[in-house]
Amino acid sequence: MTDTLELSHWIGGEKVAGDRPGESHNPSDTRDIVARTPKGGAAEVDQAVVAATDAFEAWSEASPEVRFDVLDKAGSLIMERREQIGRLLSREEGKTVPEGIGETVRAARILKYFAGEALRAHGQNLASTRPGVEVQTYRQAVGVFGLITPWNFPIAIPAWKIAPAIAFGNTVVIKPAGPTPATAEALIAVLHEAGLPKGVVNMIIGDGDVGRAIVAHEGVTGISFTGSQGVGAGVAEGAVKRQARVQLEMGGKNPLIVLDDADLDRAVNIALDGSFFATGQRCTASSRLIVQDGIHDRFVAALAEKVAALRVGDALDPDTQMGPAVTEAQRDTSYKYIDIARESGGRIVTGGDRLTLDKPGWYVQPTLIADTAPDMRINTEEVFGPVASTIRVKSYEEALSVANGVEFGLSAGIVTSSLKHARDFQRRAKAGMTMVNLPTAGVDYHVPFGGSKKSSYGAREQGFAAVEFYTQIKTSYSAG
Ligand code: UN1
């Protein structure tokens, strides 16, 4: 794969491009330019918002069957092309081909799920407190949604924001992440091929200027953002200032507790998946492994062996088990935190060195760090790379208190054979999602997704909860 794609913005159903000063690279081999891109700004965002505003009335009033058909067909097209799109994703983002295809299939499933949701948006009918009066509630489309998406799920996250937005009759302006525009563009192109009317989904490629223009634009009535906590706080501020609705999905510092009564193999495999698959670049990744005394040494030794055996390499190579970091900056962040952990007394059990392979890519050694304390920076700040640290604890209560002791609260897991501890954990873990005997990462698409504390803000995403953010309730009173 060495062909370079020429990308365009999508405005009003047309591809629009002038110069293409930007590039996206293959992180497995940076000599490979995946795409050349235009660089949008406030002017392009404005054109896109005008197109989305113009398309809103007809789309929001269309039969839900029309919206079902577009989403269902787009889902089928993506499913048919999962190999091709999945490989493009792996080439541009760096996750392995099975991971890339898996994510593409997930995007297809999301589109099909929300096709059905278009038909299921329902309201309520109640008797009023006044005799002879009836009250009805129903859900209406809101307007134009600005969607700002990250690079780590470059097709699934655009799909899980676009699909509910348009299923419920809204229109969209999306800014895909800088490192992965080609994968997002594949989704936008398929939606149009599936019969999406002009202007319902618009995409502007560019950097933070595009995001800021979307957040500031008076015509954008709601904003959904997934990305870092720092950027998210600014998005919320900008949105609230002009009373746009806003939803944020941000970081995690997700704990995985391993109790003495856990099955060792199972615990090791769950930690390996949660911490290192997708190169650890998941906001749901298990980055703090909180391990009880009695199993601690066996767990650390067995996990280290598996981590050390992971084959790191070119994402497109079928033998690769872990691809590179997405960018030089992400790779350097992993290095930075490994150094910080080492300097503060963490013991590098495996990994930890700089990694150079036979081609220029942003490779990182998967790294396990033991003997860390809960308040070290490695355990309080998000790394977003293939780096996990272990914290030794004496009891379940201590494990729970360490698990809950950070400012994030996205996903939290426990490996145990004790029903009592599992049930207690489900109730008391301060996180939006809890996992018992499962990795903290890897979620279903038909149920709500989101966190507590600094991980999320606003209504939940995905599944049956998505209707809350992407519709507005109208309450109608009538007397005969
Ligand atoms: C998953 O764990 O399956 O950006 C999904 C992220 C999350 C999605 C994680 N919003 O990593």
Pairing of strands 456-457, 245-249: antiparallel
pLDDT at res. 186: 98
Residue 82: which CATH number? 3.40.605.10
The number of C-alpha atoms within 13 Å of 222 and in the hemisphere containing its C-beta is 24
The pLDDT assigned to 17 comes to: 87
pLDDT of 269:
98
With the most atoms of ligand 1 within 8 angstroms of its CB, the residue from 104, 148, 153 to mutate is: 153
Question: Are residues 364 and 269 part of one domain?
Answer: yes
User: Is 54 within a domain?
Assistant: yes
Q: Tell whether 447 is covered by a domain.
A: no
Ligand 1 atom nearest residue 442's Cα: 3
315 is a domain residue:
yes
pLDDT of residue 480: 85
Pocket test for ligand 1, best of 95, 157, 411 (most atoms within 8 A of CB): 157
The CA 442 to ligand 1 mean position distance, Å, reads: 7
Distance 430 CA to ligand 1 centre (A): 18
The reply to whether 409 and 341 lie within a common domain is yes
Six token digits for residue 29: 């081999």
Q: Same domain for 317 and 404?
A: yes
Question: Has residue 230 been placed in a domain?
Answer: yes
**Closest C-alpha residue for ligand 1 atom 7:** 283
Residues 432 and 474 in one domain: no
63 and 150 inside one domain: yes
- Residues 18-51 as b or e (16 or more Cβ within 10 Å = b): eebebebbbbbbeebebbbbbbbebebbbbbbbb
Residue 448 lies in a domain: no
- Closest residue by Cα to atom 10, ligand 1, is 283
Domain co-membership, 218 together with 303? no
Both 203 and 320 in a single domain? no
Ligand 1 closest atom vs CA 249: 10
Q: Which two tokens stand for residue 358?
A: 């036979």
Owner of token pair 């009891």: 395
Domain limits at 69? 5-250+455-479
- On whether residue 443 sits in a domain, the answer given is no
The ligand 1 atom at the shortest distance from the C-alpha of residue 283 is 11
d(C-alpha 391, C-alpha 292), whole Å: 9
Express each pLDDT in 443-471 by its tens digit.
Answer: 999 999 999 999 999 999 999 999 999 99
Answer whether residue 445 is part of any domain. Answer: no
CATH of the domain at 278: 3.40.309.10
Sign, CA torsion 304/308/309/310: positive
- pLDDT at 1 (0 to 100): 54
Q: Which candidate in 117, 249, 382, 461 is catalytic?
A: 249
Ligand 1 binding residues, C-beta < 6 A:
150, 152-153, 226, 249, 282-284, 441-443
| Centre of ligand 1 from the C-alpha of residue 124, in Å | 33
Residues 375 and 474 in one domain: no
pLDDT at 221: 98
Walking along the chain (480 residues) 10 residues at a time, the average pLDDT comes out as 90 94 97 98 98 98 98 98 98 98 98 97 93 96 98 98 98 98 98 98 98 98 96 97 97 97 98 98 98 98 98 98 98 98 98 96 98 98 98 98 98 98 98 98 97 96 96 96
> Do residues 224 and 297 both lie within one domain?
no
Residue nearest (by alpha carbon) to ligand 1 atom 4: 283
229, 283, 326, 383: residue to mutate for ligand 1 pocket, most atoms within 8 A of CB: 283
Calculate how far, in angstroms, residue 37's C-alpha sits from the geometric centre of ligand 1: 26
Domain count, the chain: 2
Residues 136 and 36 in one domain: yes
Question: Do 232 and 323 fall into the same domain?
Answer: no
Asked whether residue 426 is domain-assigned, the answer is: yes
Tell me which residue of 171, 191, 198 sits closest to 56, measured CA to CA.
171
Annotation marks residue 249 as catalytic: yes
Task: Count CB-CB contacts under 10 A for residue 323.
Answer: 31
Ligand 1 centroid to 158 CA: how many Å?
12
The atom of ligand 1 lying closest to the CA of 440 is 2
Q: Is this prediction's pTM over 0.85? A: yes
Check whether residue 111 and residue 166 sit in a common domain.
yes
Centre of ligand 1 from the C-alpha of residue 213, in Å: 26
